[in-house]
Chain A
Amino acid sequence: MNRYLSRHIAAGLAGLFLLASAASHVAAQTRVSIGVTETIETHNPYGDSVSLLYGIWSEITGPFCTYNYEKGDFEGRLADRWKVQNPTTWLFYLNQNYKFNDGTPVTSDDVVHSMMTRVINDPQSKQKASVAGPIVKAEAVDKYTVKFTTDQPAAPLLGFVCDRLIVTSKAAYDKYGKEAADKEHMMGGGPYRLKDLIPGQRMVIAKRPDHPEAKKNPDAPDEVVYRVMRETEQRVAALLNGEIQIAQFIPPHLRQRVEKSPNLKIVGTDSVEIMFLAMQPKPPFDKKEVRQAVCHAINRDQIISTLLEGFASRLDGPIGPGQYGYDPNLKPKMNYDPEKSKKLLAQAGYPNGVDVQLQTPVGRYTLDKQLTEAMIPMLNAAGFRARLLTPEWPTLWANVQKGTVPFYYMGRGSVQDPSAALHQYFYTGETPRIGYSNPKLDSLLDKEQAEFDPKKRKQYLSQAMSILTEDAPACFLWRHKLLWGLNNRVDYKPLPDAHIFAMDIKTK
């Protein structure tokens, strides 16, 4: 029985080995598999509002325009160039060489259809607030020119539509109906086409060799498989096994395991997601001194160097280097000073400390629970009596939106341009998330939004952020440095906003 068994086990293992190697060396076509943490939920390109899917769908259908992080500015793609006609009107001129999979050109009618029918007016769309934003009307001026009208002057408009507006075919929609058009006749003008989509599992895209962008990037893979792998250990193991060639978001403590392997390497990038502690202006946080005491209590450098192993950059203000409007000389700096915290608390009328409850999600952000657990003793040492609560994400998020969470740890992603985030969290009455109100700040935010001159706009932003840092309705903590695991066969520089563009991947 033993020999029989062992022979069969050997055969099985051999077969497995062959299978594994066959899968990783596909003969003519290059295929790259990426393990991602986001889930892929639906066939409807407008049905999700997460970073990853904006990126993938944008690549299938354009992108409309894109942000070039190296240049620090927006670039044209499907929309070749644009012009601000007047403060509430923008004109976009389409590239005439972008064609749908069936050969028909992508026209302004498709753009208007996508923006109006699918993003704004479709009840199933989850993208209205983040893609349409201030846009209220889209019209076709001629075959290749689109006009967007906004309800008020919106200087940061490009941040809403670039890398986000997904342009699908009006003709297919009209002919087959929405569901069939999305599921069976998905067409886009981008360099990749949708090959396969299983909600919750994977999404596969295949290169269109005749596309102008594809011709510019011959090393880009012929096929890319996005596999949903939310479990960290499994993502890393899959990378080590060769099941995937790119693994998104490796936590700092697993990086050595990846680096030890001869076929793999770690690449890092500063995220544009800002992590902060929010405080509602209700007792005890109604007093500025108490809020400032919190900021001075947290030893951010120690947390970054120990728990995050150096893979984060401290924020001294709402944004950091590389984000629009960053000012390295922003004052004041809320440095680590627990003695100052105690004095501030005494000033505010709490010489014997005060009870506070910090709430944090678990598993939503890198090491969220661990980082906040580490903050509790720091707060306690600064004169607070702090407790940590870890409610479930939906409960926490719902309560934050309702404005019933006095003190919480949170992140705000997609902050290339801080305008939208600052408005959302700190403008009087915009959302109840914090409930902060400061007329001086409001007027500065109004001014920056309407200001089309970049220099003046940056000045307004700087002043606004200085006020915010000093008044401290939130303590700005850090931006994570996101680590990606790569197989040496691929060359890829991850983007700060976690969009993945297959065009940027080079296979060897």
Chain B
Amino acid sequence: MTSYLTQRALGTIPVLLLISLVVFLLIHAAPGDPTLMLLGEETNAAEVAKAKARWGLDRPLPIQYLRFITSAVTGDFGKSFKYAEPVSSVIKTRLPATIELAIVSIIIATLLAIPLGVWAGSKPNSWIDNLGTSFGLFGISMPSFWLGIMLILVLAGILNILPTSGRSTYGVAGPEITGFYLLDSIMQKNSQAAWDALTHIFMPALALGMNMLGILMRVTRSAVLEVMNEEYVVAARAKGLAEKNVVWRHVTSNALIPVITVVGLELGTLLSGSIIVETVFAWPGSGSLLITALNARDYPLVTGLVMTYTVAFVIINLIIDGLYAVVDPRIRY
């Protein structure tokens, strides 16, 4: 199996190269001049020419790509036009926010979806099943940005129980260690900061995770439905095991296999969904950074971000494949 995985890993390299080429071409094909964007209203032609030369934008396209790809391989995406700092460090400061948001979304989704799905699946056609199915359906049909807007309107605007935006209230959090505010505050045993971080992350994570919640619920439910009919469940029941035991011990562990697949598959959707949710909630992550970078035609930053997202996506898929093989002994490559 390791040889399969290494083969796959190696196979991704030409794919990544092609991706970088596609991204590079797309960005340069666009109308909109980065130098003008970043030099402000009152600039003049001489300044623009100088900036172009400094940023290497006056060289022919293939040369630009070559310079880009040779440094990209070492993780160096050049300097951001907008922030005048290396792209990798700009991305590094914003990435933890997105990762934290994604992780909390997954946690919320799984914590709610799996028990609900198992419950619904183990009692098909009951009112619980109907409730669960409807909930799942709602989850996958709900546009995340609309949910976000409604949440802000009700919870922050009308009821005033949650903050409207941002990651933390100024002056509450301690110094950053990992960049994951929840983790940092727990590590520093600062409960005030932990609560503060939690209240800020709740709405965006809910809006982001709602789709995954729906999907997971449905997948869990159908997996449970299928497994419930399998021989070993019938056998367990025949043995006289209490229904609860049957459900939790035998059914759940087997139903988790497709769940892992789904989480892996949906991570990509989660990553791109975070772009919208971060915009709605003004969450300072890499998603809102991407929108800013696109608006500023900040070529290095956009390329760096898109590469980061796709590389992460490819790696995650690889891991999921591996996990899948580990968890399901029936699968052998």
Contacts and interface: CB of A to CB of B under 8 A. Distances in A.
A and B touch in the complex (CB under 8 A): yes
Nearest to A420: B42
Contacts of A19: 169, 172, 192, 195-196
B229 interface: no
Contacts of A50: 40
A234 B42 contact: no
B100 to A, nearest CB: 15
Interface string A374-400: 000000000000000000111101110
B165 A231 contact: yes
Nearest to B39: A126
Interface string B90-120: 0001100000000000000000000000000
A130 interface: yes
Interface stretch (A38-46, A295-303, A316-324): A38-46
B178 interface: no
A233 interface: yes
Nearest to A230: B282
A398 B36 contact: yes
A128 interface: yes
Contacts of A130: 40-43
B316 to A, nearest CB: 26
B160 A241 contact: yes
A397 B45 CA distance: 14
Given A241-B163, A394-B295, A23 B40 contact: no
A413 interface: yes
Interface stretch (A168-176, A196-204, A275-283, A448-456): A196-204
Contacts of B33: 394, 398, 401-402
B18 to A, nearest CB: 27
Interface residues of A, number: 56
Interface in A229-253: 229-231, 233-234, 237-238, 240-241, 243
Interface in B261-298: 280-282, 284, 289, 292, 295-297
Interface string A49-88: 1100000000000000000000000000000000000000
A238 B170 contact: no
Given A49-B42, A227-B166, A394 B284 contact: no
Contacts of A47: 83-84
A328 interface: no
A234 B165 contact: yes
A154 to B, nearest CB: 14
Nearest to B93: A199
Contacts of A204: 170
A8 interface: no
A319 B117 CA distance: 66
Interface of B: 30-34, 36-45, 47-48, 50-51, 54, 82-85, 93-94, 152, 156-157, 160-161, 163-167, 169-172, 192, 195-196, 199, 280-282, 284, 289, 292, 295-297
12 contacts: A16-B161, A19-B195, A23-B169, A23-B170, A42-B84, A42-B85, A123-B51, A229-B166, A230-B282, A392-B32, A394-B34, A412-B41
Q: 4 nearest interchain CB pairs? A: A49-B40, A130-B42, A398-B33, A394-B32
